Amino acid sequence: MSELADRARTERQLWAASGSSHDRLIAILRLVLPAAIVALVILLALAPLTVGRDISFVLSKDSVEVARERMRVTSATYRGEDSKGQPFELSAGSAVQVSSRDPVVRLKSLAAKIQLEDGPAQIDAGQGRYDMDSEKVAVDGKVLFHSADGYHIETRDVGIDLKTRQVASQGRVDGRMNIGTFAGDRFTADLNTRVVVLEGRARLHIDQRQARAARTKSVGGR
């Protein structure tokens, strides 16, 4: 085997070793995507989705490339269960750290799925940046959440502080639920207290017919 092949194999082994960049990336995605889901779903008073600490993951990665970047992963998928035993799946199309001098990991094609009592829910985001020094994540662009029971939320430019577990959007929030719609210029969320605040021209429109139908369905389901 050539020296280049030996070096490539060694780098892959280091990448997969315990405590390596690979492990840190799993920790990043484990927090980022469920945190975004939690912030949005709490707003609609759905079941909390905060992921518990004791989680086992099965990692499926199409390839770990040895390139000029310090770290590159493509098509990574993470599966596990939350504290309620509900299965979820996290995926990232790619994660790249350009060099050891740059603490930012650039994430693309982010998505998360979770199986709730009322059916599956999914969140999609185009791309984001994780700063390993500050432990902050910036999700750039549109973030979409939708669930099988009719909940739909759209916002953009979401920031997540993994140290303080604070979440805030810089963009407008629009949502639809089974009793009406809501909107605001932005939102903030404290994942410790599970409090979400709509800020700036916050509006809630309740459709009385849908509300009555929802109450009837709720009573009938008991």
pLDDT digits (tens, 9 = 90+) for 159-187: 888 778 788 888 898 888 777 888 889 88
Distances in whole angstroms, Cα of residue 122 to Cα of each of 36, 89, 105: 11, 9, 23
Largest CA distance in the chain: 72
* Cβ–Cβ under 8 Å, residues 164 and 178: no
Distance CA 117, CA 149 (A): 10
Written as six digits, the tokens of 28 are 């990043």
pLDDT digits (tens, 9 = 90+) for 3-30: 555 545 554 454 445 555 555 555 555 5
CA angle 141, 143, 99 (to 5 degrees): 55
**What pLDDT shows up at residue 46?**
27
Residue ranges of domains in the chain, CATH in brackets:
3-220 (2.60.450.10)
pLDDT digits (tens, 9 = 90+) for 78-116: 677 766 677 877 777 877 878 778 888 888 888 878 777
CA-only gyration radius of the chain, Å: 19
pLDDT digits (tens, 9 = 90+) for 132-144: 788 788 888 888 8
The answer, as to whether pTM is greater than 0.75, is no
- Of the chain, the percentage scoring pLDDT greater than 90 comes to 0
Q: Angle at which helices 3-16 and 21-43 pack, to 10 degrees?
A: 40
Written as six digits, the tokens of 24 are 């840190």
* Cβ–Cβ under 8 Å, residues 31 and 163: no
Residues 6+ apart with CB under 8 A from 187: 39, 43, 155, 168, 169, 173, 196, 197, 198, 199
CA angle 105, 190, 214 (to 5 degrees): 110
- In which band, very low, low, confident or very high, does the pLDDT at 42 lie, cut at 50, 70 and 90? very low
